[in-house]
Amino acid sequence: MAGTTTNPPANDSPYATPTALEPSAPKPSPPNTLTKIWRYFLPLAIFAGLVWFLYKGLSLNPREVPSALINKPAPEFKLALLHDSEKSFSPADMKGQVWLMNVWGSWCVSCRYEHPVLNELAKQQLVPIVGFNWKDQPEDARGWLKKFGDPYAKSVMDRDGRVAIDFGVYGAPETFVIDKAGTIRYKHTGPISPDDMKNIIVPLLQDLKKT
Amino acid sequence: MESAGVVNNVDSADILNLTSCHINLKHKQRRAQQSIYAPIAAPVLERSFMKLVFSLLFACTFSANLFAQTATPAMPPMPLDLELRLKKLETELRCLVCQNQTLAESPAGLAGDLRREIRLLADSGKSNEEIKEFLRVRYGDFVLYNPPMSSKTYLLWFGPFALLAGGAAIAFLMARQRRLKLGVAQPSISEAEQKRADALLKGDDEKKRGDNKKR
């Protein structure tokens, strides 16, 4: 081994092999402080990053699947009315109006929780609400509305759930905000709380009505 | 209403939840009653048991038609090749109600509806890709168990490889640094020192040998 260097290299590793056998040999130069800091803080930074991702992941609600239909035209359908099965309703009837479509069922307990909020909105007469009665028995649905109040300008029945598939519905309640052009602008998954209504939906409806 | 008590009990347990997977007990019961395995299945609605029974029957007998009748009671029986094709397709699709289950295995009402829709699409001559696209347009990428390659999913697809490459690079650099240090450290022993060290080592060896002889 041809020794070319006489100076020992900067030795900043605690595990480096001893460079000299005798105490009189030149001592290793003091460790580079920057490298030292880097060495200690990099694992900490990586750990902090992992914790952040984990925390974010835990605070996400997996039930809130973003709708694939936002800013897309509301799917067309023609369904019989709940209160008059001779007549039918189609989203085309609502062109030029901002409206809400609320998916519900008499079997759905969360819908009962949400219902007073919808009744309140109906009282304000801001926009018409269309009730989308999903996979229900008509008599059960009518009884339910009689008992808890009927906020719906119109109610349609989707008994076998085929139209709901077009809307990407996967649970009740779900609420769609549809603008004057018939485009879906917002979807609320799960029951609308009074706060959601006041802070998200009503401002959005007011905005959409202006345009 | 049939078995309304059961449904209400389950509901009140998680009142704020969306249609939970277990609310559909009613559907499950109905399914179990219509099933040809009713004598076995009806009293025991425990899902794991049902799954075990079904998977055993499926695996052992391969008579998949019977299995399909329990899942979609309204549909006429389908030919075995179509059945197997759709079963495979459904295992690649997520049930949006019971999110960690595939459409093939989920007992949720919506999963039943989607299975029926898939069947109808297949009957009308749609390919697997077209059926997946039908669901993706309505439910988003989330419905696909194999996430498609897009700018949003690059991290998902390539992240592990990037981590592996990064780890390999760090390991390589560290190994090289260590080797360099060792290579440079050795010549810093002077010739005299080296001789002395050799002599010491040798002496040590001889001494040891001597010790061995004594024994």
pLDDT digits (tens, 9 = 90+) for B118-164: 999 999 999 999 999 999 999 988 899 888 888 888 888 899 999 99
Q: Is A136 exposed, middle or buried (0-12, 13-18, 19+ CB in 10 A)?
A: buried
The residue in chain B having the minimum alpha-carbon distance to the alpha carbon of residue A14 is: B178
3-state secondary structure of B184: helix
A14 touches chain B (CB under 8 A): no
Strands A88-89 and A154-158: unpaired
d(CA A85, CA A78): 12
Structure tokens of B175? Answer: 């190994």
A198 interfaces chain B, CB cutoff of 8 Å: no
| pLDDT at residue B214, as a whole number | 53
Q: Mean pLDDT in chain A? A: 86
Residue B16 near chain A (CB below 8 Å):
yes
The C-alpha of B36 sits at a distance from chain A's nearest C-alpha, in angstroms, of 24
pLDDT digits (tens, 9 = 90+) for B172-193: 999 998 888 876 656 667 788 8
pLDDT digits (tens, 9 = 90+) for A141-166: 999 999 999 999 999 999 999 999 99
Q: Which helix (H) or strand (E) holds A109?
A: helix A109-124
pLDDT at A156: 96
* Chain B touched by A11 (CB under 8 Å): yes
Say whether residue A185 is in contact with chain B using an 8 A CB cutoff. Answer: no
Residue B119 CB neighbours (<10 A) = 22
What does R_g of chain A's alpha carbons equal in angstroms? 32
Q: Is ipTM over 0.90?
A: no
pLDDT at B85: 93
Q: Is the dihedral of CA B67, B70, B72, B74 positive or negative?
A: positive
Q: Please tell me whether the overall predicted TM-score, pTM, comes out greater than 0.80 for this model.
A: no
Counting as low any pLDDT under 70, the low residues of chain A are 1-32
Please state the rounded mean pLDDT for residues B68-84: 67
- Contact between chains at B138 and A166 (C-beta distance less than 8 A): yes
Residues of A numbered 78-117 whose beta carbons fall under 8 angstroms of chain B's beta carbons: which are they? Answer: 107-110, 113
* Chain A residues in contact with B9 (beta carbon < 8 A): none
A163/B42: higher pLDDT: A163
Q: Which residues of A168-197 are buried (b: 16+ CB within 10 A; e: fewer)?
A: bbbbbbbbbbbbeebebbbbbbbbbeeebb
CB pairs under 8 A between A and B: 102
A181 touches B: beta carbon within 8 Å: no
Q: Which residue of B has its CA nearest to A8?
A: B185
Which chain A residue's Cα is nearest to B196?
A: A21
Max intra-chain CA distance, chain A = 106
Q: What is the CA radius of gyration of chain B?
A: 33
Q: Does B110 touch chain A (CB under 8 A)?
A: yes
Are the beta carbons of A133 and A104 closer than 8 angstroms?
A: yes
**A133 CB contacts (<8 Å, ≥6 apart)?**
A82, A104, A105, A106, A141, A155, A156, A157, A158
> For chain A, what percent of residues have pLDDT higher than 90?
70
| Residues within 8 A of A (CB atoms), B 172-191 only | 180-189
CA angle A90, A80, A135 (to 5 degrees): 105
- Is the CB of residue A163 less than 8 Å away from at least one CB of chain B? no
Contact A21, B193 (CB under 8 A): yes
Q: Do B140 and A170 touch (CB under 8 A)?
A: no
**How close is the nearest chain B Cα to the Cα of A147, in Å?**
17
Say what the pLDDT of residue B192 is.
Answer: 84
Q: Using one digit for the tens of pLDDT, what is the confidence trace for A86-109?
A: 999 999 999 999 999 999 999 999
